[in-house]
Amino acid sequence: MHRRQALILTLAAAWQACGQARRGEFNARTALRHAQRATAFGPRPPGSPALNQLRGYILSELEKTGCQILRDRFTAQTPLGPIEMENLIARFPGTSGRAVAVSGHYDTKWMPDIEFVGANDGGSSTGFLLELARAISGLKFRNDILVVFFDGEESFGPWSDKDGVYGSRHLAERWASDGTLARLKALINVDMIGDRDLGIVREMNSTAWLRDLVWQTAAELGLRRYFLDQPGWIEDDHVPFLRRGASAVNLIDFEYGPNNSYWHTEQDTPDKLSADSFEVVGRVVLEVLRKLD
């Protein structure tokens, strides 16, 4: 057994022995269940009936938290033609006038030739954000906390500046226009964080001080082993915000399966996920939110 995997497997019993979701605490088992539920809808590319069903599920879960729900609808111009997309934003208001966003995508890549259900790539960020929203609803922050579900992260053809990260490109532009970006203290993006063998790459496009804060926090919590020194330069939903001057960090495990063999394949299934990995990321992100407050 891989050493990181063996270490991860000890975490859930210690931190989630009762398996019950408590207000103000991140419950990894609940996050995993949400990811499994998202995956059960099947392939979820933008504009699909399955993604619309998942959107309804997300909205119903967010309503339970008492947050303000903002629905950001737009039409994206894609290689397949215009497609209606929708970002979902859960706002937990603070008093400082500043805001911190935690984001991820809830769509899966359009792959018509295979049954791509995206348990980790799309499902894990969806499950994580839903449970984070529930945990935040039991806490008090001075900053607004914005939990953002991006549509259209995946490209339809070869990745390019015009094909991919549709939702984050749209929201970054909108926030630049309405003043939200000016009061945004930080954005933390999560992607592919449910892998049983968790190893989050040191993503070098990210803002240095914010990336260092995450890695330092992981070390303080005894979780530094899951936050690698291995550098990587990855285009993801944080980049449109970086390009507009915001501070943003991307938390992503980009080695999924042997030689990354599960990524964008039929192998990306729920059995590859672990509640323990959700637990690691949940603890670190919540503590970073406290520090940013």
Domains of the chain by start residue, with CATH: 3-9+29-292 (3.40.630.10)
**Helix (H/G/I), strand (E/B), else coil: 92:** strand
DSSP 36: H
- Distance CA(238)–CA(144), nearest Å, equals 18
Angle at 259 between CA 256 and CA 260, to 5 degrees: 30
Categorize the per-residue pLDDT at 156 as very low, low, confident or very high, splitting at 50, 70 and 90: very high
Beta pairing, strands 99-105 & 184-191: parallel
Centre a 10 Å sphere on the Cβ of residue 135 and count the other Cβ atoms it contains: 23
Amino acid at position 108, single letter: T
Angle at 169 between CA 168 and CA 170, to 5 degrees: 90
For the stretch 256-292, pLDDT in tens is 999 999 999 999 999 999 999 999 999 999 999 999 9
Alpha carbon 251 to its chain's center: 8
- Distance CA(48)–CA(36), nearest Å, equals 18
Which residues, other chains included, contact 212 with Cβ-Cβ below 8 Å and sequence gap of 6+? none
**What is the pLDDT averaged over residues 109-131?**
98
Radius of gyration of the chain (CA): 17
**What is the pLDDT averaged over residues 103-124?**
98
Structural contact between residues 68 and 114, judged by C-beta atoms closer than 8 angstroms: no
Which residues, other chains included, contact 89 with Cβ-Cβ below 8 Å and sequence gap of 6+? 69, 70, 71, 72, 146, 147, 148, 149, 171
pLDDT on residue 20: 55
For the stretch 5-53, pLDDT in tens is 545 444 444 444 444 567 679 999 999 999 999 999 999 999 999 999 9
Q: Where are the beta strands (DSSP E) in 79-158?
A: 81-92, 99-105, 144-150
Q: Where are the alpha helices (DSSP H) in 16-110?
A: 28-40, 49-63
pLDDT on residue 1: 46
Angle at 56 between CA 84 and CA 41, to 5 degrees: 90
Structural contact between residues 137 and 66, judged by C-beta atoms closer than 8 angstroms: yes
Torsion angle, alpha carbons of 239, 245, 248, 250, to 10: 20
pLDDT on residue 24: 75
